[in-house]
């Protein structure tokens, strides 16, 4: 059974960079046809798709966040990461990592981690 687990700082100061890692177990991050995504959900609000990294390493980011987002993969550790720069209070959210299957729907989610932006 595939499992995804987010980790990283739960508190980030404004203007700094948010960094999260998603460890994948029970399967390989290099499996063909899959992509690995980050999604966030501000408290009490809806889901916002941040971006993904394909198994080949190509990336796509939400245009609304593109200038601040980097998603990367570490195949040796079977994990992928999110960096979001110049954060503000509006970036406070539960951040989920997820696997996107070949038909491009989300079949596995991490449990989510709350990141608060505050001084």
Partner 1 sequence: DIQMTQSPSSLSASVGDRVTITCRASQGISNYLAWYQQKPGKVPKLLIYAASTLQSGVPSRFSGSGSGTDFTLTISSLQPEDVATYYCQKYNSAPFTFGQGTRLEIK
- Where along the sequence are the contacts to partner 1 (CB under 8 A)? 37, 46-49, 52, 60, 62-63, 96, 100, 103-107, 109-112
For residue 9, the minimal CB distance to partner 1 (Å) is 21
Please report the beta strands in the chain, taking only residues with DSSP state E, as ranges in sequence order.
3-8, 11-12, 18-25, 35-41, 48-54, 59-61, 69-74, 79-84, 93-100, 106-109, 113-117
For residue 76, the minimal CB distance to partner 1 (Å) is 27
User: Tokens 């989300």 belong to which residue?
Assistant: 106
For residue 62, the minimal CB distance to partner 1 (Å) is 5
By C-alpha distance, which of 100, 93, 105, 108 is closest to 20?
93
For residue 13, the minimal CB distance to partner 1 (Å) is 28
* Identity of the residue, 15 or 72, whose beta carbon is nearer to partner 1 in the bound complex: 72
* Identity of the residue, 90 or 103, whose beta carbon is nearer to partner 1 in the bound complex: 103
Q: What is the rounded CA–CA span in Å between residue 6 and residue 84?
A: 15
* Identity of the residue, 87 or 100, whose beta carbon is nearer to partner 1 in the bound complex: 100
């Amino acid at each position: 059974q595939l499992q995804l687990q987010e980790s990283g700082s739960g508190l980030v100061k404004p203007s700094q960079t948010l960094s999260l890692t998603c460890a994948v177990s029970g399967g390989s991050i290099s499996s063909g046809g899959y992509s690995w995504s980050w999604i966030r959900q501000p408290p009490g609000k809806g889901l916002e798709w941040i971006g993904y990294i394909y198994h080949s390493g190509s990336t796509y980011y939400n245009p609304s966040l593109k200038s601040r987002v980097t998603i990367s993969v570490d195949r040796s550790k079977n994990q992928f990461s999110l960096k979001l720069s110049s954060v503000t209070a509006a970036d406070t959210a539960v951040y989920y990592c997820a696997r996107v299957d070949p038909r491009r729907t989300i079949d596995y989610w991490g449990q989510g981690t709350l990141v608060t932006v505050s001084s």
